[in-house]
Amino acid sequence: MSEAGQGDKPQQPDETMQLKLPPSFRADETMQLRVSDIPAVPDMSEGENEGGGKQRSSKNRRKAPQPSLFARISSFLGPRLAPLLAVLAPYVARVTPYARKLRPQYPRPGRTDWRRWIPSWRQCLGGVLTSIGLSSMLLVVAYAATDIPDNINSYATQQDNVYFWADGTPMARTGWVQRQAMPLKDIPEDVRWAVLAAENASFYSDPGISFKGISRALFRTIGQGDTQGGSTITQQYVKNVYLNQNQTVSRKFTEAMIALKLDNQMSKDDILEGYLNTSWFGRGTYGIQRAAQAYYGKDVGELNASEAAFLASLLKGAGLYDPTLNSANRARAVERWSWTLDRMVDIGKLSKAERAKYTKFPEPLKANPLYDTGEQSDYLVELASQYAKKAGNISDKDFDLGGYQIYTTFDKKRQAQLTGAVTKARKDALKDDPENAKAAHYGASSVASDGRILAVYGGPDHRTQGYNESNATTVSAGSAFLPFVYAAGLENGIHKTRDGDTTPVTGETLYDGDDKVPVTTPEGPYWDRSGKVVAAKNDDGESYGQISLHRALELSVNTPFMQLGMDAGLDVVRTTAEKSGLLSSSIGAQVPALSMGSSTPSAIRMASGYSTFAAGGKHTEPYSVRLITKNGTKVVLDTPDADRAFGADVAEEVNSALADSFRTAHPDDVPSSQQAAARAGSLGQVAGKAGTTQDDTAAWYVGTAKAVSTAVVVYRIDLGKSLQPLPLKGIAGTTDDSVPYGIWSGAMSPLG
């Protein structure tokens, strides 16, 4: 039988592929091939040839020829793969008869017992060859079907983050996210080979991928549910520039295919240059040039092999190898740095003599000098960026990529007033008492009753003092804590007996206001661990006899509130303070001293707590960002909602007592509207209270005007010697001339 004819009319060649296939190769018309359906010998067509028997019917003679399997596959995959299939077709046709012979037959004929179920060596060999062939075909098809993307992603196009004041005007443009592309010729060879030694020593000889590394990574990903290295520098560059950072098998496969193509289309030097300019080194920097500036304050061309070896370690994960973050990081960085230098010697890129010079770890700068937005705006940027990442669910790495517009809650005018008031007080102290003023610290914050942080004073200069004094939990609140004890008693009542009924408390409830009154429990006096009876003390040792709670808060009498805390329950006092806005981590031990302000809240949290009284007993967590956009698209924020801390009647009574406290202590500063507001019982009146500690280590003033609460704290700590608070020694002024109150009134002016 000839190759062309079966029946009367020769079959036309397939028009898509133009391939001649052996007569034994026919595609099942349903494309549903099963091994069991393949006959042992070639199947004959319905009609015989001219020499015998049946002839095709006229109906069959008129039927159009069916397209071949390869034609259908070609049509499905598109014209791009047609030439490839045309090349593979003859080989497939040649292998098909052998595949039929090697097809498994179970149970095996001519065998008995368990031997019937054991495949022959031919079948095993056929299975292995088939697997290799299919895998090779899959890789060839995948390689041909994968294109190098036209557009690089945001990892290679870094942007700054821009911060705006509450009124929408620009406040700061951060320098954290910076990238400066450097030609490879300007990057010293020691720097290049430090990176290559640490990441991919065979870079100049490999095909762009590491088969061993990919196999290991796939095994880890599939077998153990996580991912494990194995990428060449070419693959890492592809991931940085063209793909995302998702650790999935599909992403790794695509990465490998693009890396193979890229290695054939770009020179090794161009790939290395791109990699060094787009890799993330931490501290908001992308690229070796900005990394050199961020960690060593110099250009990349000035780095030596030792410094380069440290920077190369950051490619393993800057959050794990930046030694300035913690001691564990430093240990890892030193180990990796030493290993990289030894590796450079092993691959012949650093002499043993030069290696011997580098015995001391090259300590990087403690802070990134590229980050420079100004004296106070640094503190604002720090607060806003921390809140933005948390509320917007933005990772550190994504935030460092930049492109975000952060609209803050900071009021430009209030910020200027607060900064000016603290700056003046600091200068006056340095002038009047320079010795003690050297260790003086001032923290302040203004928070609206709806939770917006309007202004903060974090320190003299973020570049010389990195921590934020407005957000520090360093010193105790002292008597500024008394309003929270008062609110706890008013809201929950008191228990004079262990199992007795709750007795309501009002502003007119009387307590003993004498100095050194023993604190009692239902069982009797409260004894401390040293065996002494605990007694409350008033400022200056003054006694007041029986005094109402309202009057006691107005005059800042301590002893009634120490006993009130015991009667209401110290756990209740703690809960009330936390609901009002104080962090649980800053609340003092659950002993009688808790009511006297042993807690150490920050200025932001104290202002937030007092704003709860002004908001009618509703508390909103303080926040510093109201809107975030990225390239014009809004980022969804987890904005805080107001929660009920205590009843509105409780808030009104506490606020009324604080208003009387302000009016009694500072009668000359009472605005003309204060009397009318007091008569109306308005929560909008000016209210405030001073706070002192028995050990004279902190002085506070916290007050509210126009629904904005401001807290100011002054304390002394010699950071060069200890973190232990020191006596103020007059730095905070006197009762009649209080420095915290002076700062508060200057920041809140005008009060009316």
The pLDDT tens digits for 458-469 are 988 877 777 899
- Residue 44 predicted with pLDDT over 50: no
**For the residues 704-717, what does the mean pLDDT come to?**
95
For residue 669 the two structure tokens come to 């500063």
Kindly give the pairing relationship between strand 404-408 and strand 162-164.
parallel
Question: Is residue 746 a contact partner of residue 669, using CB atoms and an 8 Å limit?
Answer: no
**For the residues 148-163, what does the mean pLDDT come to?**
62
Predicted model pTM: 0.61
Tell the burial category of 485 from Cβ atoms under 10 Å away from its Cβ (0-12, 13-18, 19+): buried
CA dist 209 to 139, 245, 344, 651, Å?
13, 17, 21, 68
Question: Is residue 189 a contact partner of residue 412, using CB atoms and an 8 Å limit?
Answer: no
CA dist 74 to 11, 12, 16, 90, 693, Å?
20, 18, 8, 15, 85
Model confidence at 552, pLDDT cuts 50, 70, 90, reads very high
Question: What pLDDT does residue 743 have?
Answer: 96
**For the residues 442-452, what does the mean pLDDT come to?**
97
User: Which of 47-51, 148-152, 229-233 is most confident?
Assistant: 229-233
Question: What pLDDT does residue 257 have?
Answer: 63
**For the residues 34-46, what does the mean pLDDT come to?**
43
For residue 388 the two structure tokens come to 């933005």
At residue 423's C-alpha, the angle toward residues 421 and 427, to 5°, is 120
Q: Tell me which of 172-181, 247-256, 286-295 is least confident.
A: 247-256
CA dist 714 to 238, 606, 693, 733, 744, Å?
54, 14, 11, 10, 12
φ, ψ at 535 (rounded to 5°): -130, 140
- Residue 105 predicted with pLDDT over 80: no
Q: Coil, strand or helix: which one is 691?
A: strand
Question: What pLDDT does residue 387 have?
Answer: 96
Write the DSSP symbol of residue 532.
P
Q: What percent of the chain has pLDDT over 70?
A: 71
State how far the Cα of 249 lies from the Cα of 715, in Å rounded to an integer. Answer: 56
**Which residues, including other chains, have CB under 8 Å from residue 253's CB and lie 6 or more apart?**
142
Question: Is residue 271 a contact partner of residue 237, using CB atoms and an 8 Å limit?
Answer: yes
Question: What pLDDT does residue 193 have?
Answer: 95
Question: What pLDDT does residue 135 have?
Answer: 60
Question: What pLDDT does residue 376 have?
Answer: 82
State how far the Cα of 685 lies from the Cα of 681, in Å rounded to an integer. Answer: 8
Q: What digits encode the pLDDT tens for the residues 46-96?
A: 444 444 444 444 444 454 555 555 555 555 555 555 555 566 667 666 666
Q: What is the sign of the dihedral through the CA atoms of 65, 69, 70 and 76?
A: positive
φ, ψ at 627 (rounded to 5°): -160, 140
Tell the burial category of 365 from Cβ atoms under 10 Å away from its Cβ (0-12, 13-18, 19+): middle
Higher pLDDT, 431 or 271: 431
At residue 377's C-alpha, the angle toward residues 642 and 454, to 5°, is 25
**For the residues 446-464, what does the mean pLDDT come to?**
91
Question: What pLDDT does residue 86 have?
Answer: 65
Q: What percent of the chain has pLDDT over 90?
A: 49
- Tell me the pLDDT of the chain averaged across its residues: 80
Radius of gyration of the chain (CA): 39
**For the residues 233-257, what does the mean pLDDT come to?**
63
Question: What pLDDT does residue 752 have?
Answer: 62
- Residue 321 predicted with pLDDT over 90: yes
Question: Is residue 711 a contact partner of residue 478, using CB atoms and an 8 Å limit?
Answer: no
In the chain, what is the greatest distance between 2 CA atoms, to the nearest angstrom? 133
**Which residues, including other chains, have CB under 8 Å from residue 39's CB and lie 6 or more apart?**
none
State how far the Cα of 198 lies from the Cα of 337, in Å rounded to an integer. Answer: 9
Tell the burial category of 217 from Cβ atoms under 10 Å away from its Cβ (0-12, 13-18, 19+): buried
Q: Tell me which of 25-29, 132-136, 281-285 is least confident.
A: 25-29
Question: What pLDDT does residue 34 have?
Answer: 42
- Residue 337 predicted with pLDDT over 90: yes
Q: What digits encode the pLDDT tens for the residues 621-640?
A: 999 999 999 867 899 999 89
Question: What pLDDT does residue 512 have?
Answer: 96
**For the residues 298-308, what does the mean pLDDT come to?**
94
